[in-house]
Amino acid sequence: MKIAILFGGLSFEHEISIVSSIAMKDILKDELIYLYIDGKRDIYEIPTQKINSKLFSSGEYRKFDRAYFKKGGFYKISGLFKKEQSIDFDVVLNLSHGGDGEDGILSSILDFYNIPFIAPRTEACVVSSNKFITKGYAKSVDVNVLDYKYYTKNDDIKVDMFPVIVKPVKLGSSIGVAIVKSKEELDYSLDVAFEFDDAIIIEPFISGVKEYNLAGTKVNGEFIFSIIEEPQKAEFLDFDKKYLDFSRTSKAKEVDLGDKLNQEIKESFKRLYNTLFEGSIIRCDFFVVDEKVYLNEINSIPGSMANYLFTDFEELFKKVALTLPKRKEIAINYEYVNKIQVAKGK
């Protein structure tokens, strides 16, 4: 199988997308084709044997062939006579974290050009990339969420009890997130959060809360789960700690919460994944408070695809690649237009 890894993009998480994508060389043994989207949204085909992080920070990637979308795949102008060539691959893995990759832009383009890809479809991206919408969706499928307030930049923001946690609505990797323990800290934290986003949510911060991660997918109607992991953290997983996860390849340690909580976390995952996330491998992060499971967030394109949570990620990847959801065919027959023309005598 030939796998085209699409990464980069116009995003605050651009750099961690690079790290996550390079890690795939140690995870997927099939032939990899790297397609890098730079900050101007130009696409470059990067030779797998030459890819490294310095290539991008130095701008050296620009010496490689430019690529572009076209119906059915990607193409490039290459060779001595500068002819158009198709880039050969079987499936795309969307590894563009944050904006472009997780907000639905790339999914929409891939769908439009009829390119097979592993990642959430556009509707799923909209739900999972916006924390406010995520919470509403979770509640609608009977998954618990912590209390929260939603604010935009010009709102009068009042917090009655501390500590709280402030989160930009549309960013991942804990960018712009802060634990706030006083009114003085709140003003500064809001300034930081609104630098990254025009909307925020504020939740109560529960010190020492237990968090557990579960990844999974659905193949032919059957769920396949990873182990449940308890990530190691201090007060919360900040950007620097999460950054390390994007290059993880060593297996995580499984935690056993007992039959009741293990099952409740898996059932919550099933309700969230539903049919909305078909064609993707996602990770859901849960809190457990007083023996009750709450959703923290949905990672629709998790760092390094959460490979470290699965016994055999490569086999799982192939199963998903071979059972991607099919687009519903819509017949365009101009029946309505023809009826109008007949009615008008034309």
pLDDT in tens, 210-264: 999 999 999 999 999 999 999 876 555 454 554 455 556 678 899 999 999 999 9
Beta pairing class for 66-70 and 73-78? antiparallel
Same domain, 200 and 259: no
Asked if the structure places residue 344 within a domain, the reply is no
Do 156 and 105 have their domain in common?
no
Note the pLDDT tens digit of each residue in 155-202.
999 898 999 999 999 876 677 899 999 988 998 999 999 998 999 999
| Final residue belonging to a domain, choices 204, 230, 250 | 204
Per-residue pLDDT, averaged over 17-25, amounts to 94
The pLDDT, as a whole number, for residue 248 is 60
Q: Which domain holds residue 25?
A: 2-119
Asked if residue 213 and residue 198 are part of one domain, the reply reads no
pTM: 0.90
Asked whether residue 29 falls in the same domain as residue 112, the answer is yes
| Domain match, 130 and 231 both | yes
- Answer whether residue 332 is part of any domain: no
Q: What is the Cα–Cα distance from 121 to 326, expressed in whole angstroms?
A: 11
**What is the tens place of the pLDDT at every residue in 46-66?**
999 999 999 999 999 999 999
115 and 256 co-located in one domain = no
Indicate the number of domains in the chain.
3
SS3 content of the chain, % helix, strand, coil (to 5): 30, 25, 40
The CATH code of the domain that includes 182 is 3.30.1490.20
Task: Give the distance, in angstroms, between the CA of residue 314 and the centroid of all CA atoms in the same chain.
Answer: 19
- For residue 231, is it within any domain? yes
Instruction: Read off the amino acid at residue 237.
Output: L
The total of other beta-carbon atoms located within 10 Å of residue 35's CB is 24
**Assigned domain for 328 exists:** no
Q: Looking at the structure, tell me whether residues 248 and 274 fall in a common domain.
A: yes
- pLDDT mean across residues, the chain: 91
* 34 in a structural domain: yes
**Position of tokens 């967030």?**
297
